[in-house]
Amino acid sequence: MWLTDAQKIGVALTTFGGLFLLLGVMLFFDGSLIALGNLLFLAGVTLIIGPHKTFYFFARKQKLRGTVCFIGGILLVFLKWPFVGVIVETIGFLNLFGDFFPVILTFLRQLPFVGNLLRLPYIREVADRIAGSRTSVV
């Protein structure tokens, strides 16, 4: 699968958004970095899947609680409450994107070094539990 130029830019924006969010949290919840990370993350997701699909993803009835928490957390960060905003935003993020964790885990298990680490007995059980994956009895 080949990515368009807009999708490549979207991946870069989403990555930088995640890095700015992480840096903002590491620097004692710096509101400016967290706000910038939120904007970059949302712009990146919009470029990756397109504006219409982004709107429908966030507007689905099943994802309404996650959307309200995610957008509410972003607003709290903009209103100078970064600690509370990040907590609310994280709850929304987990509600919105929690369905993708098993897919991400499967992808990570195919990588050379990370895959070997994730296949270790105790780490495998913990990773499966965190991702919500169901394992077979084989």
What pLDDT was estimated at residue 135?
54
Please report, for the chain, the start and end positions of each structural domain, with discontinuous segments joined by +: 5-98
What pLDDT was estimated at residue 137?
46
What pLDDT was estimated at residue 34?
97
Residue 123 amino acid letter: I
Total-model pTM: 0.81
Cβ neighbors of 49 (< 8 A, separation 6 or more) are 57
What pLDDT was estimated at residue 133?
65
What pLDDT was estimated at residue 2?
85
What pLDDT was estimated at residue 134?
58
Structure tokens at 51: 């504006």
What pLDDT was estimated at residue 136?
47
Residue 23 amino acid letter: L
What pLDDT was estimated at residue 104?
87
**pLDDT 10s per residue in the chain (138 long)?**
688 999 999 999 999 999 999 999 999 999 999 999 999 999 999 999 999 999 999 999 999 999 999 999 999 999 999 999 999 999 999 999 888 889 888 888 898 898 999 999 999 999 888 888 655 444
- Environment class of residue 24 by beta-carbon count within 10 Å: exposed (0-12), middle (13-18) or buried (19+)? buried
